[in-house]
Amino acid sequence: MTVLEKRAILSDFRAIIDDLRAEIKCEIRREIKEASKEIYAVLTNQGIIEPEERVLTKAQLMEMYNVGKTKIESMMADGTLPFIKSGDSRQSRVTFRWADARIAFETTRR
């Protein structure tokens, strides 16, 4: 076997090893992502954490924090409670991100 043949074989082995490393990294990332989703789902279902992207209505906030509609609307008006309005009319649906509502109500109760 010549030196050039040995180098070619070595180069092929290196390419195979690099491909295997890349595949293993992708598989590990996939498994970590899937495990993270499962852990997040379990913690959310058990009430240990709340989903950050959860959206609440006024009625849900009233029940959750035991406040009236007037309190929520005054917090909206003074900017302490961020909200999402789905249109321009007075009848447009208003929702609140759970994380924003939690921060707003935790800071106003002190």
Tens of pLDDT along 23-82?
999 999 999 999 988 888 888 777 677 666 778 999 999 998 999 999 999 999 999 999
- Structure pTM? 0.52
73-92 CB burial, b ≥16 within 10 A, e <16: eebbeeeebebeeeeeeeee
Contacts of 75 (CB under 8 A, 6+ apart): 81, 104, 108
Match domain 55-108 to its CATH number in 3.30.70, 2.60.34, 1.10.287, 1.10.1660.
1.10.1660
DSSP-derived secondary structure letter, 87: S
Q: Where are the domains of the chain?
A: 1-49, 55-108
